[in-house]
Amino acid sequence: MHPVIRSLAVRSLAGLCLFAAACASVPPPPAGAQDQAIEIRSSSLPLKIDEPDATTVGRLIWRGGIAMTANTPHFGSWSDLHVTADGRSLTSISDEGAWLTATIDYDSRGHLAGLSAGRLGQLRGLDGKPIAAKADADAEALARLADGSWLVAFERRHRLWRYPTLTDTPAPVEGPAEIGRQPANGGIEALTALADGRVIAISEEYGQRPNTAMGWIGEPTAGGRYLWRSFDYPTIADFRPTAITMLPDGSFATIERAFDMVRGVRCRVMRFDAGQLKPGATVRAEELARLAAPYAVDNLEGMAATKGARGETLLWLISDDNFNRLQRNILLLFELAP
């Protein structure tokens, strides 16, 4: 097939994926009260489908990618990502209220090869029972706090809950004053925690100024509470923020996602300096790379950063397949070029 025709076909498929997801996805029932061991099956992805030897896109260097399935219908729809500092294991959550842990496997070059020792369970509600209703289970963002607990942001019924571990009963955390003003399916998707205790959150669709999304800096106060102050995150047409992580050098990276039926899924990987992140400020992120067909891409919603064996900065991206057969759960690994 001619490369141009192939590219158009891939773009059309990507468009159909999200259209079908919006109209016909049928997620499984909740994973249940007991966490379970699962087998994760991984197949290798090229960076660029029509150029298998391609190794760079923008300022990102390819370090491997996988498409993932598992031996359980509850595997999928991954909305955010945490990778341990040593790069050995990951944690993710889904917008159906599930959580996932797994060991990360590498090949002899140090490239991503697969996942093993997977475990999956269902997040619990304030009553200690597994969350069952979709309106309550839509977990979209995850942050590992300095004390080892987890902060989870939910959509539809917008709220923040803190989990001592992901198998425990959570405690509610008071969010920003504007948290309830967000669109039902456009709430906090980008969330990260800093070593000094601050929490950074960005709304997918809510903003008070044209062409911006509202972000918040949460300063820790007594009793596990936060003092929230806002900043603006500029957006361009169609692209909305879906993830944020702090890089090893102290700067921040984000994912911005766009979709339409003609061009399919597109994602921008962005970066901005920590000095820009101040209450009342407007951050100005630079584009590191743009992922669109025929490059490896899907509905990317989760992001993490680690330092590699050579001291290089590694970026991890994970996708939400909406439990739709035309979409994929993919995990991508990139190295940030100096």
Cα separation, 129 vs 140, whole angstroms: 19
Cα separation, 336 vs 338, whole angstroms: 6
pLDDT of residue 261: 84
Quick one: what percent of the chain has pLDDT higher than 70? 92
The predicted model scores a pTM of 0.92
The residues with which 193 forms a beta bridge, in sequence order, are: 199
pLDDT of residue 33: 65
Backbone angles phi, psi at 7, to 5 degrees: -60, -45
Round the CA-based radius of gyration of the chain to a whole number and report it. 19
What are the tens digits of pLDDT across the range 106-153? 999 999 999 999 999 999 999 999 999 989 999 999 999 999 999 999
What are the tens digits of pLDDT across the range 73-117? 999 999 999 999 999 999 999 999 999 999 999 999 999 999 999
Q: Say if CB 206 and CB 194 are below 8 A apart.
A: no
Residue type, 160: L
Query: What residue spans define the domains of the chain?
Result: 3-336
Burial class (CB within 10 angstroms; exposed 0-12, middle 13-18, buried 19+) of 253: buried
Q: Is 2 helix (H, G, I), strand (E, B) or coil?
A: coil
The residues with which 191 forms a beta bridge, in sequence order, are: 201
Reply yes or no on whether the pLDDT at 332 is more than 50. yes
Reply yes or no on whether the pLDDT at 29 is more than 90. no
**Angle at the Cα of 318 from the Cα atoms of 99 and 121, rounded to 5 degrees:** 10
**Angle at the Cα of 327 from the Cα atoms of 63 and 137, rounded to 5 degrees:** 100
Q: What average pLDDT does range 207-234 have in this prediction?
A: 97
What are the tens digits of pLDDT across the range 149-180? 999 999 999 999 999 999 999 999 999 999 99
Among 30-34, 56-60, 204-208, the minimum mean pLDDT is found in 30-34
Cα separation, 207 vs 222, whole angstroms: 28
In which order are the strands placed within the sheet that holds 226-234?
A: 188-193, 199-203, 212-220, 226-234
pLDDT of residue 125: 98
Q: Which of 111, 110, 115 has its CA nearest to residue 92? A: 115
Q: Say if CB 205 and CB 190 are below 8 A apart.
A: no
Residue 53 contacts by C-beta under 8 Å, 6 or more apart in sequence?
Answer: none
Fold assignment, 3-336? Neuraminidase (2.120.10)
Cα separation, 241 vs 92, whole angstroms: 18
Burial class (CB within 10 angstroms; exposed 0-12, middle 13-18, buried 19+) of 286: exposed
Q: Which of 193, 196, 153 has its CA nearest to residue 176? A: 153
CA distances from 12 to 8, 37, 47 (A): 6, 36, 18
**Angle at the Cα of 23 from the Cα atoms of 19 and 41, rounded to 5 degrees:** 70
pLDDT of residue 7: 42
Q: Say if CB 57 and CB 291 are below 8 A apart.
A: yes
Q: Say if CB 264 and CB 7 are below 8 A apart.
A: no
